């Protein structure tokens, strides 16, 4: 990041969230919530496209180096934007657990496990198996945080989870191959890591906004990924081709800098179970674009699973007044 002008570093001022929420007019709160939903929709589309782009990029660079590039370029973009908007601000003490959980679990673990698994599995199926978060978020939200889940939303989550189960059934996946089995376990573990972040962001309260924390979370992931890549994969493996450069530019500034900010901001304003269900739109988009761009085949189980996921998302997203 030496090419950027020196950035002003200062603590982020603290502000009691309950007093701020009370002071914001209802119309303003609705506008903020609407902005979070709009950003989430864009993030779902961009993140869905990220899976076939990652699959293409992995043909030009190894998984750990690709992940390090992703978060390194994403962090550089956000630090530059913050510097142009008045200065880069240090996280406060209360933000540090969120820098750690998102940087380590959502960014490093989820992304690395997904990239490693995608070297053995199709991009569309990898995307679908990674987004089994309702299977973890729903019971944790109810048992540990006392969240009340309305019946229609519960039915939607159940339908979406059923769709994921259809896609994971042993008849459509070669569980006899230990490498394929290991890849599927990686994707389930990645889903568990992200579920922990969804719950942490929903029920915890950082002092700073997602935009302020995101570059620090990406920087943490990058600082750990570079030595890991050197140890496991050796010197940098990117081939410098046009496809490598294009995929890096997409997965970094777009799929990382923008999408992580949008999703984390929405996680702080939407119910954890609804958030997890909405994010299942990403693998559905990933499957469609993988068929279009990579020629992956649409099997009966893939079709049935995707339809169930879409139906679950629609049921969980309906406003309460329409459900009644």
Q: How many distinct structural domains can be found in the chain?
A: 1
Q: What's the average model confidence in pLDDT over 54-58?
A: 95
- The answer to whether position 4 is within a domain reads no
When mean pLDDT is compared over 18-32, 53-67, 160-174, the highest value belongs to 53-67
Here the tokens at position 265 are 């901001």
When mean pLDDT is compared over 163-177, 215-229, 307-321, the highest value belongs to 215-229
* Residue 259 to residue 315: CA distance in whole angstroms: 24
Q: How confident is the model at residue 281 (pLDDT cuts 50, 70, 90)?
A: confident
For residue 89, the SS3 value is: strand
pTM of the full predicted structure? Answer: 0.78
- The answer to whether position 6 is within a domain reads no
- The answer to whether position 119 is within a domain reads yes
Q: Is the pLDDT of residue 308 over 60?
A: yes
Here the tokens at position 180 are 């394929």
Q: How confident is the model at residue 298 (pLDDT cuts 50, 70, 90)?
A: confident
Q: Which of 19, 22, 56, 43 is nearest to 293 (CA)?
A: 56
- The residues that bridge with 89 in the sheet, in sequence order, are 10
- The answer to whether position 128 is within a domain reads yes
Query: Rounded to 5, what percent of the chain is helix, strand, coil?
Result: 75, 0, 25
pLDDT at res. 22: 45
Mean of pLDDT over the chain: 82
* Residue 133 to residue 194: CA distance in whole angstroms: 7
pLDDT at res. 322: 40
- The answer to whether position 318 is within a domain reads yes
- The answer to whether position 1 is within a domain reads no
* Residue 150 to residue 152: CA distance in whole angstroms: 6
Q: How confident is the model at residue 290 (pLDDT cuts 50, 70, 90)?
A: very high
Choose between 59 and 314: higher pLDDT: 59
Q: How many CB atoms lie within 10 A of CB 184?
A: 21
- The answer to whether position 29 is within a domain reads no
Q: Which of 131, 114, 62 is nearest to 282 (CA)?
A: 131
Choose between 154 and 276: higher pLDDT: 154
Structural domain boundaries, residue 104: 38-323
Here the tokens at position 182 are 């290991």
Q: Is the pLDDT of residue 1 over 80?
A: no
Cβ contacts of residue 7 below 8 Å, gap of 6+? 79, 82, 83, 87, 88
Q: How confident is the model at residue 5 (pLDDT cuts 50, 70, 90)?
A: very low
Q: Is the pLDDT of residue 6 over 50?
A: no
- The answer to whether position 22 is within a domain reads no
Q: Is the pLDDT of residue 16 over 80?
A: no
Q: How confident is the model at residue 125 (pLDDT cuts 50, 70, 90)?
A: confident
């Amino acid at each position: 990041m030496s090419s950027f002008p020196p950035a002003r570093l200062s603590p982020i001022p603290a502000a009691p969230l309950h007093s701020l929420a009370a002071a914001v007019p209802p119309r303003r709160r609705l506008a903020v919530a609407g902005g979070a939903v709009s950003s989430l929709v864009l993030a779902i589309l961009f993140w869905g496209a990220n899976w076939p782009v990652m699959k293409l990029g992995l043909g030009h660079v190894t998984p750990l180096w690709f992940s390090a590039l992703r978060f390194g370029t994403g962090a550089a973009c956000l630090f530059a934007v913050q510097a142009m908007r008045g200065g880069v601000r240090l996280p406060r003490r209360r933000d540090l657990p969120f820098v750690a959980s998102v940087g380590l679990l959502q960014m490093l673990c989820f992304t690395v496990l997904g990239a490693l698994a995608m070297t053995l599995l199709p991009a569309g199926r990898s995307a679908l198996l990674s987004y089994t978060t309702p299977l973890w978020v729903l019971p944790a939200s109810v048992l540990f945080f006392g969240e009340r889940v309305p019946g229609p939303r519960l039915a939607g989550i159940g339908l979406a989870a059923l769709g994921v189960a259809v896609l994971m059934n042993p008849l459509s996946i070669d569980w006899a191959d230990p490498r394929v089995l290991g890849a599927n376990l990686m994707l389930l573990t990645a889903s568990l890591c992200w579920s922990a972040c969804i719950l942490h962001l929903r029920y915890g309260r950082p002092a700073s906004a997602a935009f302020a924390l995101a570059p620090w979370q990406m920087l943490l992931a990058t600082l750990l990924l570079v030595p890991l890549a050197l140890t496991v994969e050796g010197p940098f493996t990117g081939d410098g081709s046009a496809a490598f450069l294009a995929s890096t530019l997409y997965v970094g500034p777009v799929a990382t800098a923008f999408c992580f900010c949008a999703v984390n901001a929405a996680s702080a304003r939407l119910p954890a179970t609804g958030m997890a269900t909405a994010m299942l739109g990403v693998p559905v988009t990933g499957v469609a674009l993988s068929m279009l761009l990579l020629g992956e085949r649409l099997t009966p189980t893939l079709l049935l699973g995707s339809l169930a996921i879409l139906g679950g998302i629609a049921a969980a997203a309906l406003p309460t007044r329409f459900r009644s």
